[in-house]
Each structure stands twice: as C-alpha cells, then as structure tokens.
Structure 1
C-alpha cells in the first residue's frame, strides 16, 4: 500500500496555495521550502531527538451541549512518541484562533528558534500535514520537514507509538 501512495505522489503536482478540500487524497512528492522525509530519515530524526515532531491529524472534541443520554466515544490517537498533537491546523483555510493556537503550539516546543528542525505529519495521503508544513515555511521556519507517510508509514516500519492528547 505504501508503494502505491509513493507512486501516486509522483504524479500529483504541488499546488501554489493550500489544499482546501478532499484532504484524504494522493499528495505531491515535494513541498517548496521544506524537506520531504522518508521513513528512514524520520526514524533517524526521532532517534537522535534532533527535531520537534508535530502531528496535525484533525480531532473533533466532545460537543459541549450534547443531549442527556447521548453516548460520545472519544477517538484515541496513537502517534509518534513525544510528538505534540496540534489538531485541525492543517486545513487550507484557518481562522485567527486556530492560527494563534498553531503558533502557540510551535512556540511551546521551538521557542523563538526559527532554525530548529520541525517535522509535520498526519497519515498517508493526507494534505493536512502538507498544508501545516507549508504554513510553517511561510511563517519563516527554515528547517521544516514533511513526512508524507505519517503514522501509516511509521507503523508499517514497526516503530513504537503512544497515545496522545491534543495540545
């Protein structure tokens, strides 16, 4: 399955702007201004702790005003250990609150160091991580990595995961 994702990526052109629909679709093989990381490169960055890992998988929080008796089952997220999970920051259009949340989350791990390595991921064929990495590049981060296979590639390589909660 991963091979199909990679070969499809080779035929998807990199758009000028952000992807704003159909987020679960083949992604490009490139991201201008960022480095595209393979699974082996991602494992190496994780093992030597040289990059901050940012999971951008969307998350739907429990609605505040659910009717009494409504059953809500929280989705469990297993991702790359020690990642910060910044859900919903990978949409093509984000509001000011989401942008502030995204910037605050990055700052919580990177401080003011715009040169520190930061790696964005989601799942295979997910534009959320591409959009988030593109946004970080546009904000001036100079060592941005994008891992297009995300947790799917990580798990396929028999790497450990841990349960995470949104930041």
Structure 2
C-alpha cells in the first residue's frame, strides 16, 4: 500500500477513534424507538444502519452517491388561523438536494404519516432498497435515528445515519439550501 494511502487510513482511524471517544459512555442504543425528549444525546450506533461522519457525508454529497433525507419536524400554518394573526414561517436551511420528509422521525407514526414517509422514499428510490439513503436532522436529534431505524425495519439495506446533521454540516463550512417539506 502506498504511503499516502497508509496516511489516509491512519487519519481515518484516528477520526473514528475520536468520534467513538466523544460518544463513549453516552447513550446505549435502545431496542425500540425514542418516544419523547427528541433533542437529547443520541447513541453512537444504529443496528442495521451505518453511522457516518461529516467527512464521508461531504464525499457522498459531492459524488451524488446517496439520497439525503432531512427529517426535521415542521409545523405548517394552521388552516383556520384567525384573520390578522401573525404567522412566522420557519425557514429550513439544509444540505442541498435533500428531500425534507418532515415529521417522520417521531416514535409513533399514524397511518397517514407512515404512508407519507413510505411514499416519499419511494418517490426517489422506487423499489430500489439497496441504494444509499442518508437520514439526518440536527445534532442530538432522535428524529433521524428513529427514521433511519424505521427504514431499516422496512427492508432498506443501505441506510446511513448522520447524527451530527445540519449542525455538523454547517460547522464543516458546507453550503446549505433553503428547503420546504415534501408535500406540505
């Protein structure tokens, strides 16, 4: 192996070690979905999925190798808001070219939300359950963990989970793009 590859392998190993140390002693991976307190420390693992770090996420994005799925919750403007009420729309800046499947990361999904989630994935992946699909939200957000876990349970075989989400992406100096939730 050339020296440059050894150097890259050593750097990758050190980065993985640093991340493992950052997560060490934090939250054990639960057997089921997170049902409350969604903005809290997350585990370092997700059975059936691969946890990815910012460096790899950047490469996947640059090379268009994965479907990026933002699962940040979204509260739409209420339909029967009284006239004259001021409503400030949340603006979401996320990883460019992502689809935003809002509200699919809760621990329990009603039938309508489950259909929205399944249809959203199918709209981009078709029946291909082997294509890389990367789930993210924000740092310390269980929504992306829950959504990735659900995709694994539905038979997707190339699920990636990015626990640092847009916070890690922005901290690495990467571009963002304004997005709106699919179907809202």
TM-score under structure 1 normalisation? 0.95
Match of 2:170 among 151, 155, 159: 155
**Structure 2 vs 1, CA of residues 24 and 75 (structure 1 numbering), >3 Å: closer, same or farther?**
same
Q: Which residue of 2 is the match for residue 58 of structure 1?
A: 73
2:26 matches 1:11:
yes
Post-superposition CA distance 1:137-161 (Å, at most 9, x none) = 0000000000000000000000000
Cα-to-partner distance string for 1:69-105 (whole Å, 9 max, x where unaligned): 1000000000000000000000000000000000000
Q: Which runs of 5+ in 1 are unaligned?
A: none
* Inter-partner Cα distance in structure 2 for 1:68 and 1:8: 48
- After superposition, where does 1:124-143 map in structure 2 within 5 Å? 124-143=139-158
Aligned equivalents of 1:141, 1:10: Cα separation in 2: 29
Cα distance in 2, alignment partners of residues 88 and 136 from structure 1: 14
Aligned residue among 94, 102, 108 for 2:117: 102
Q: Distance in 2 between matches of 1:110 and 1:48?
A: 17
> Which one has a bigger Cα radius of gyration?
2
CA contact (8 A) 1:9 1:27 kept: no
Aligned to 2:52: 37
Counting helix residues as a fraction of each chain, which structure ranks higher? 2
Residues 117-148 of structure 1 show CA distances to partners (whole Å, capped at 9, x for unaligned) of 00000000000000000000000000000000
Query: In the alignment, does 2:105 pair up with 1:90?
Result: yes
Residue aligning to 2:84:
69
Task: Supply the RMSD in Å over aligned alpha carbons.
Answer: 1.4
4+ residue runs over 3 A deviation = none
Counterpart CA distance in 2 for 1:58 and 1:43 is 23
Give the total of aligned pairs: 164
Question: Is the contact made by 1:9 and 1:26 (CA closer than 8 Å) also made in structure 2?
Answer: no
* Distance (whole Å) between structure 1 residues aligned to residue 131 and residue 150 of structure 2: 16
Q: Would you say 1:26 and 2:33 are equivalent positions?
A: no
- Runs of 5+ unmatched residues, structure 2: 1-17
Instruction: Tell me if structure 2 keeps the 8 A contact 1:78–1:164.
Output: yes
